């Protein structure tokens, strides 16, 4: 079954064609992230306008993929069996662009349309066969050993159920029990900020622009424990709490407090530590890298500890990571420590962040074709009652 999927929940406009939920025929992603940089966060109005500009070119490009050449006089659209679209959660202006475009396509072509929950779709990126992935996909750098059990289907190890699934993105930190590709139960989620939001907000505090998670990861990699004598003690919120919920706003506040407190009074053990973004004094650069390291350690400690606890509690055989933060190399490294107990999977980097491939995969495995008249954008679509 060949599904054309459209994703426009936030600041990415994406379209993909995927066969049987696993094989990527084409995948195109346009992003307006850079445009929001000067505002210090995503401006919904700007994101919606960019969605409008990009949606037709992105669909056109996805339909001109090499696997979609005309067959016996058929157009690429004729070869599609169903259309899938993200209906929420997300920004209303952005969602409407994708939803109305998908409904129009369904009406004009008479093809079935499948509404998709963006957050649930993230975890289905784990079912995609990475070997079919588009050129330019970010793979794990080989210098970072993530072990043979991590990396989607590359390791040829199948996902086994029950599985615990951690969706960790800019807007969500959710844990699910997955008994099959259809049977999902929500176990817990963040009570306030998402992990990605914590990465982004603390990154801004340290002086980084957009792509906060990536900036912190890179700065943390430049840090060496011996560089700076001072270490802030950052909390690991709710790490010992019995529930499977998370909280990251306290961590953000703690970083703010610690960052303000130290107006760079310390002497670095080594000079010359600089980051590209923050190339002020070596001391400041070293401090920035050290804070980035500590922030990343705190966030990843909480995510790993709670996910492993859930996996033990539910006798899981596999752990599935997904969402933008699942691209984090330190997080993967920490999960990898548990590879002898659990079969651990994470999509390649480009399938962790927002894309339409995961929307098509979810639609194939768990979607329900729905009358297009009844489909609407739902900005606050529940990720718990599913
Ligand atoms: O899944 P996603 O693309 O969008 C949402 O659905 O929210 O996730 C975006 C989030 C951002 O907060 C971004 O900073 C974070 O994922 N992110 C990372 C990394 N790459 C993206 N966080 C930590 N390390 C990374 N390498
Ligand atoms: Zn997302």
Q: How many residues are there in the chain?
A: 386
Nearest residue (CA) to ligand 1, atom 3: 353
Most confident of 60-64, 75-79, 222-226: 60-64
CA of 376 to the centre of ligand 1 (A): 26
| 217 ligand 1 Cβ < 6 A | yes
Pairwise CA distance, residues 205 & 214, whole Å: 15
Pairwise CA distance, residues 212 & 210, whole Å: 5
List the one residue out of 373, 357, 374, 383 whose CA is nearest residue 12. Answer: 357
The pLDDT > 90 percentage for the chain reads: 71
Ramachandran category for residue 65: left, alpha or beta (phi over 0 → left; psi -120 to 50 → alpha): beta
Please determine, for residue 199, whether its predicted confidence score (pLDDT) is greater than 60: yes
Pairwise CA distance, residues 138 & 155, whole Å: 17
- Residue 289 and residue 134 in contact, taking contact as beta carbons nearer than 8 Å: no
| 323 ligand 1 Cβ < 6 A | yes
Kindly give the residue spans of alpha helices, DSSP state H, lying in the chain. Answer: 33-36, 44-62, 92-109, 118-123, 195-205, 212-221, 249-261, 282-313, 329-336, 349-352, 357-366
Token pair of 68 as six digits: 């979609």
* pLDDT, position 16: 96
Nearest residue (CA) to ligand 1, atom 10: 170
C-alpha triplet 149, 224, 281: angle, nearest 5°: 135
Compute the average pLDDT of residues 339-349.
Answer: 92
C-alpha triplet 78, 79, 81: angle, nearest 5°: 95
* pLDDT, position 260: 86
Please determine, for residue 265, whether its predicted confidence score (pLDDT) is greater than 50: no
| 328 ligand 1 Cβ < 6 A | yes
Residue range 309-335, pLDDT digits in tens: 999 999 999 999 999 999 999 999 999
Mean pLDDT in the chain?
86
CA of 380 to the centre of ligand 2 (A): 14
Cis amide linkage into residue 89, ω under 30° from 0: yes
Residue 223: CB partners within 8 Å, gap ≥ 6?
273, 286, 289, 290, 292, 293
- What is the number of the ligand 1 atom nearest to the C-alpha of 296? 23
Pairwise CA distance, residues 215 & 206, whole Å: 10
Compute the average pLDDT of residues 173-181.
Answer: 97
Pairwise CA distance, residues 22 & 158, whole Å: 13
**More confident of the two residues 141 and 134:** 134
- Residue 36 and residue 79 in contact, taking contact as beta carbons nearer than 8 Å: no
Residue range 291-305, pLDDT digits in tens: 999 999 999 999 999
CA of 105 to the centre of ligand 1 (A): 30
Report which DSSP code applies to 165.
E
Most confident of 64-78, 203-217, 280-294: 203-217
From 57-71, 107-121, 155-169, the region with the lowest mean pLDDT: 57-71
Cis amide linkage into residue 162, ω under 30° from 0: yes
CA of 208 to the centre of ligand 1 (A): 14
């Amino acid at each position: 079954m060949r599904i054309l999927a459209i994703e426009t929940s936030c600041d990415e406009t994406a379209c993909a064609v995927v066969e049987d939920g696993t094989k990527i025929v084409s995948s195109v992603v346009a992003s307006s992230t850079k445009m929001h940089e000067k505002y210090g966060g995503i401006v919904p109005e700007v994101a919606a306008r960019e969605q409008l500009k990009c949606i037709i070119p992105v669909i056109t490009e996805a339909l001109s993929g090499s696997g979609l050449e005309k067959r016996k006089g058929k157009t690429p659209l004729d070869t599609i069996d169903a259309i899938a679209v993200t209906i929420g959660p997300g920004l209303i202006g952005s969602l409407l662009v994708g939803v109305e475009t998908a409904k129009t396509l369904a009406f004009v072509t008479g093809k079935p349309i499948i509404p998709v929950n963006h957050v649930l779709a993230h975890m289905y990126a784990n079912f995609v066969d990475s070997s079919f992935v588009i050129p330019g996909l970010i793979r794990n750098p080989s210098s970072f050993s993530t072990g043979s059990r991590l990396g989607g289907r590359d390791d040829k190890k199948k996902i086994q159920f029950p599985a615990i699934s951690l969706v960790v993105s800019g807007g969500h930190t959710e844990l699910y029990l997955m008994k099959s590709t259809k049977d999902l139960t929500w176990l817990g989620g963040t009570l306030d900020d998402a992990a990605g939001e914590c990465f982004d907000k603390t990154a801004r505090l340290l002086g980084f622009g957009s792509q906060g998670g990536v900036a912190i990861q890179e700065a943390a990699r430049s840090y060496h424990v011996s560089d700076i004598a001072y270490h802030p003690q950052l909390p690991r919120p709710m790490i010992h709490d019995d529930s499977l919920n998370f909280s990251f706003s306290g961590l953000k506040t703690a970083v703010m407090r610690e960052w303000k407190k130290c107006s760079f009074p310390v002497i670095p053990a080594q000079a010359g530590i600089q980051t590209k973004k923050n190339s002020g004094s070596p001391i400041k650069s070293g401090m920035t890298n050290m804070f980035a390291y500590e922030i990343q350690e705190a966030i990843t400690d909480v995510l790993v500890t709670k996910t492993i606890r859930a996996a033990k509690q539910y006798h899981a055989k596999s752990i599935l990571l997904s969402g933008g933060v699942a691209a984090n190399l330190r997080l993967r490294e920490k999960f990898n420590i548990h590879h002898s107990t659990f079969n651990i999977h994470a999509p390649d980097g480009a399938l962790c962040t927002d894309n339409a491939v995961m929307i098509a995969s979810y639609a194939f495995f768990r979607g329900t074709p729905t009358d297009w008249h009844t489909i609407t954008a739902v900005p606050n679509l529940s990720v718990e009652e599913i």
